Amino acid sequence: MRELIRKLTETYGPSGAEEQIRAVIRAEVKPLAGELRVDPLGSLVAHKQGDGKRIMLAAHMDEIGVMVTYVDEKGFARFTNIGGVRTLSCVGGRVAFANGTLGVINVEQKRDDADKIPQMSQLYIDVGAKGRADCPVQVGDTAVFVRSFAAQGTRLIAKAMDDRIGCAILIETLRRLKRTPYDVYFVFTVQEEVGLRGARTSAYGIDPDMAIAVDITATGDTPESMHMAVEMGKGPAIKVQDRGMIAHVEVRELLTRRAKEAKIPYQLEVLELGSTDAAAMQLVRAGVPAGCISIPCRHFHSPSEMVDEGDVENCVKLLLEVLQKA
């Protein structure tokens, strides 16, 4: 799966501009799905037809990024965030725009509060322009952080692991899934980072009997980290609760039961900050039993997010156990 993960994480695709990453995923799943379509908001739906209940699996293909708000007379671009961008992760970083333009983010040198964490209004993007007329980007253009994929033992490091790792898991699950008693929809959603939007509209159209999101989660295993019973390398995390939802008890019990039966290592996750597509899918129409499997991820919402290869593989195994058994 490493080459697939590399391809997905290195592809451009901020929230609201997912065309490039959607094309990459579409090429991967086209030979595997009976039906392939893009819904009106832009999410990609790969349908593996069956006679049983409808199961929706969702992983969001968008990533955090920045959007130009102003270009000054010297050609320096001011910007705002797309999703949960931290200023500490920005300074000195590189970003890439859809047209291939590269920029360097830096902070104003003369600041009255230079000893404090800078505000986003104090940052700018330098694309090497000589002036506003020479600047290759304009207001409304979006960019993502630039960082190549790397593997160090079983640790995989890249930008956009959130949630390209979930997309890779869905693709690999679809690739290995030979038979299923269910009608399964593999959905690669848009605009999760700005409000779980794609999952909401996709779930409304599919009207599933059960929905499972695959996303990343924080860990409690780094220095002075939050108190959280999730560690990288200890197995995928089955969500109990996060800021946006309480996982449906029957979905959570199904996931834990299948993991125990197959002797797949797993953890239980209670996340105090953030949520996933499951929170949106849970509330469409008359309500959908929804849950989430999370990949423990260090340094999330930074240009160097880290996951463990074993957790990824065990997540694929768990999804297959769920989908292959009645």
Q: Which residues are catalytic?
A: 192
Helix (H) or strand (E) holding 23: helix 19-29
Where are the extended beta strands (E) located within the chain? 35-38, 44-48, 54-60, 65-71, 77-82, 94-97, 102-107, 123-126, 142-145, 150-152, 155-158, 183-189, 210-217, 237-241, 267-270, 290-296, 305-308
Helix (H) or strand (E) holding 320: helix 309-324
Q: Which residue has the tokens 């849970």?
A: 282
**CB distance 171 to 25 below 8 Å:** yes
Provide the total of helices (H) and of strands (E) in the chain, helices listed first.
Answer: 7, 17
Residue 173, classed as helix, strand or coil, is: helix
HEC assignment per residue over 90-142: CCCCEEEECCCCEEEEEECCCCCCCCCCCCHHHEEEECCCCCHHHCCCCCCCE
- For residue 163, cis peptide bond before it (omega within 30 degrees of 0): yes
Say if residue 123 is exposed, middle or buried (CB neighbours under 10 Å; 0-12, 13-18, 19+): buried
